[in-house]
């Protein structure tokens, strides 16, 4: 690959900070987009070109790309939850549309645009004929977030742009805050679950970052892949792993779906009234009661000729150690 300049969005976040580190280690010149309010804690130590950029302006995006002669783009920025679905669409779909508009007006052709979507765009596996989400599956998003990512993907389809869509399943690891609630609850001695026998898939953040960066080196264009470590786990196994690594024997509390659904519905109403987005809501209910998040990713690992370095037991161990070291637990 000739041009070693990469524009990375979402670099200050959980996944983005790992991508930035890997890009630097691979010798890329990395340009990261920032807002005035961006928290640089995870990337301040890196030799990055930091650019204040309005991602709502295709003209500003075009100028940034041309002024710096950038032909590789990793669009990782996104919004995972919001009480207003239109806001999710604005951030997750419209900004990608702005990049496409900018790319169409460039005086040169880009080499690759990698868009980080989500398994949520296709939904859970029980809605698919073979109980697995793969390249033959039809989208069945269960959440507003999933719908916004699917809408974003539709912006790319049919475009004469060298794009690659990656759809990670649940991403976990150091610096991650959503699953941290589960770690904290188990650390306090409580294992709270819904008796659903849910099957889960995961990808450790370091493995995901490696896939993204390696994908820049391979001729993967106009292609779409799901990303996981290739395994399917029982939800109880996740809790057991975390508890064991914390040295806890938690009290098991099983909640009925009816109670959880009622709480989520009440939270939906309160969220709209007081303009906040509660962690437990109807979308979250759809996620945690889905039977299976099984997805097929072997094709991508084979294309890149690499293998995942972390299965869940390895990733949870390293994550717990990081949480403890950084006093998050």
Beta bridge partners of 115: 75, 165
Which H or E element spans position 224?
Answer: strand 223-227
Indicate whether 187 belongs to any domain. Answer: no
Range of the domain at 114: 5-175+201-231+293-310
Residue 141 has what DSSP assignment? -
**Which structure tokens are listed for 15?**
């996944």
Whether residue 73 lies inside any domain: the answer is yes
Reading the block at residue 249, the tokens are 């024997």
Q: Are 322 and 329 in contact (CB under 8 A)?
A: no
Place of tokens 């890009």: 23
301 located within any domain: yes
Q: Which tokens is 290 given? A: 């889905």
The answer to whether residue 254 is domain-embedded is no
Q: If phi over 0 gives left and psi between -120 and 50 gives alpha, with beta otherwise, what is residue 208?
A: alpha
Q: Is 247 a domain residue? A: no
Along the 329 residues of the chain, how does pLDDT read in single tens digits? Answer: 456 899 999 999 999 999 999 999 999 999 999 999 999 999 999 999 999 999 999 999 999 999 999 999 999 999 898 878 888 999 999 999 999 999 999 999 999 999 999 999 999 999 999 999 999 999 999 999 999 999 999 999 989 999 999 999 999 999 999 899 999 999 999 998 876 679 999 999 999 999 999 999 988 889 999 999 999 999 999 999 999 999 999 999 888 888 889 998 998 888 888 878 788 888 888 998 999 999 999 999 999 999 999 999 999 999 999 999 999 99
Structural domain includes residue 315? no
262 belongs to a structural domain: no
Predicted confidence at residue 1, as pLDDT, reads 46
Give the pLDDT confidence score for residue 219 in this predicted structure: 86
What's the pTM?
Answer: 0.94
Whether residue 190 lies inside any domain: the answer is no
Distance of alpha carbon 165 from alpha carbon 48, whole angstroms: 24
pLDDT at 82: 82
Residue of 179, 228, 205 lying closest to 76 (CA atoms): 205
Structural domains counted in the chain:
1
- Check which CATH number belongs to the domain holding 106 and give it: 3.40.50.720
């Amino acid at each position: 690959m000739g041009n070693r300049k990469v524009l990375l969005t979402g670099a200050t976040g959980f996944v983005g900070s790992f991508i930035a580190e890997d890009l630097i280690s691979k010798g890329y010149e990395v340009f990261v987009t920032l807002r005035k309010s961006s928290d640089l804690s995870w990337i301040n130590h890196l030799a990055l070109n930091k650019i204040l950029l309005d991602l709502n302006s295709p003209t500003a995006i075009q100028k940034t790309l041309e002024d710096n002669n950038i032909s590789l783009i990793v669009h990782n920025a996104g919004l995972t939850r919001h009480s207003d679905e239109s806001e999710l669409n604005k951030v997750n779909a419209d900004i990608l549309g702005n990049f496409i508009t900018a790319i169409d007006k460039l005086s040169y052709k880009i080499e690759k645009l990698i868009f980080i979507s989500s398994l949520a765009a296709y939904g859970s596996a029980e809605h698919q004929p073979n109980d697995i989400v793969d390249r033959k599956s039809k989208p069945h998003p269960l959440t507003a977030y999933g719908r916004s990512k699917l809408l974003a993907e539709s912006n790319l389809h049919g475009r004469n742009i060298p794009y690659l869509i990656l759809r990670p399943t649940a991403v976990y690891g150091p610096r991650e805050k959503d699953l941290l609630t589960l770690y904290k609850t188990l650390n306090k001695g409580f294992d709270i679950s819904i008796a659903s026998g849910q099957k889960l898939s995961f990808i450790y953040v370091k493995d995901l970052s490696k896939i993204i960066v390696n994908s820049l080196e391979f001729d993967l264009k106009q292609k779409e892949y799901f990303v996981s470590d290739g395994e399917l786990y029982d939800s109880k196994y996740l809790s057991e792993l975390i508890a064991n690594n914390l040295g806890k024997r938690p009290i098991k509390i099983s909640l009925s779906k009816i109670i959880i659904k009622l709480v989520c519905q009440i939270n939906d109403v309160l969220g709209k009234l007081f303009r906040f987005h509660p962690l437990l809501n109807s979308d979250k209910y759809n996620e945690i009661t889905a039977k299976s998040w099984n997805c097929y990713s072997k094709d991508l690992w084979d294309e890149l000729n690499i293998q995942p370095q972390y299965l869940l037991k390895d990733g949870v161990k390293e994550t717990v150690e990081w949480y403890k070291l950084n006093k998050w637990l």
